[in-house]
Homo-oligomer: A and B are copies of this chain.
Amino acid sequence: MGRKVAIVGVGQSKFGSRNDVNMAELTWESIKEALNDAGVDQKDIDYFVTSNAGGWSSEPLPAVIIAEYAGLNPKGTAKVEAACASGSAAVKLAHDMVASGQADIAMAVGVEKMNESPTPTIVEFIGRAGNYFWEFQNFGLTFPGYYALYATAYMDKYGATEEDLALVAVKNHYYGARNPKAQFRKEINVEKIMGSRYIAWPLKLFDCSPITDGSATVILAAEELAKKLTDTPVWIAGIGAASGTSNLSKRKGFTSLEAAVAAANQAYKVAKIDPEAPIKYFDVAEVHDCFTIAEILAYEDLGFAKRGEAVEWVRNQETYIGGKIPVNLSGGLKAKGHPIGATGEAMIGDLAKQLRQEVEKERQAPIKKGMALAHNIGGTGHYAYVTILSLDKV
| Surface stretch bound by B, among A94-102, A165-173, A182-190, A208-216 | A94-102
Contacts of A65 in B (CB 8 A): 131, 246
Q: How far is the CA of A80 from the CA of B92 in the complex (A)?
A: 13
Contact residues, A93-124 vs B (CB, 8 A): 93, 95-102
Q: Is A279 an interface residue (CB 8 A)?
A: no
Contact at B93–A128, with CB atoms within 8 Å?
no
Contact residues, A1-31 vs B (CB, 8 A): 1-3, 22
A53 to chain B: closest residue by CB: B60
Q: How far is the CA of A76 from the CA of B259 in the complex (A)?
A: 9
Contact at A64–B379, with CB atoms within 8 Å?
yes
Contacts of A130 in B (CB 8 A): 64
Q: How far is the CA of A1 from the CA of B72 in the complex (A)?
A: 25
Q: Is A243 an interface residue (CB 8 A)?
A: yes
Neighbour of A61 across the interface among B242, B258, B262, B379, CB < 8 A:
B379
Q: How far is the CA of A2 from the CA of B61 in the complex (A)?
A: 30
Q: Is A129 an interface residue (CB 8 A)?
A: yes
| Surface stretch bound by B, among A33-41, A81-89, A313-321, A360-368 | A81-89
Contacts of A180 in B (CB 8 A): none
Q: Is A263 an interface residue (CB 8 A)?
A: yes
Contact residues, A211-258 vs B (CB, 8 A): 239-247, 250, 258
Contact at A100–B93, with CB atoms within 8 Å?
no
Q: Given A3-B1, A93-B93, decide whether A77 and B67 contact each other with a Cβ distance below 8 A.
A: no
Neighbour of A129 across the interface among B64, B82, B247, B379, CB < 8 A:
B64
* Interface residue SS majority, chain A: mixed
Q: Is A139 an interface residue (CB 8 A)?
A: no
Q: A233 → chain B, closest Cβ, in Å? A: 18
Neighbour of A78 across the interface among B82, B245, B246, CB < 8 A:
B82
* Assembly stoichiometry (copies): 2
Neighbour of A133 across the interface among B1, B53, B59, CB < 8 A:
B59
A102 to chain B: closest residue by CB: B96
Q: How large is the interface on A (under 10, 10 to 19, 20 to 34, 35 or more residues)?
A: 35 or more
Q: Is A196 an interface residue (CB 8 A)?
A: no
Q: A228 → chain B, closest Cβ, in Å? A: 18
Q: What would 30 A/B residue contacts be, using CB atoms closer than 8 Å?
A: A2-B3, A2-B102, A22-B133, A58-B132, A59-B128, A59-B131, A60-B128, A60-B129, A61-B83, A61-B382, A63-B81, A63-B82, A64-B246, A64-B379, A64-B383, A68-B131, A72-B243, A75-B243, A76-B241, A76-B266, A76-B383, A77-B241, A77-B383, A78-B81, A80-B93, A93-B97, A96-B96, A96-B97, A96-B99, A96-B102
Partner-B contacts on A (CB < 8 A): 1-3, 22, 47, 53, 55, 58-61, 63-65, 67-68, 72-83, 86, 89, 92-93, 95-102, 125, 128-133, 239-247, 250, 258-259, 262-263, 266, 378-379, 382-383, 385
Known contacts A1-B101, A59-B133, A92-B102; 18 further A-B pairs (Cβ under 8 A): A60-B132, A61-B378, A63-B82, A63-B243, A64-B129, A65-B131, A68-B246, A68-B247, A74-B244, A74-B259, A76-B240, A76-B266, A77-B82, A80-B93, A93-B96, A96-B100, A96-B102, A99-B102
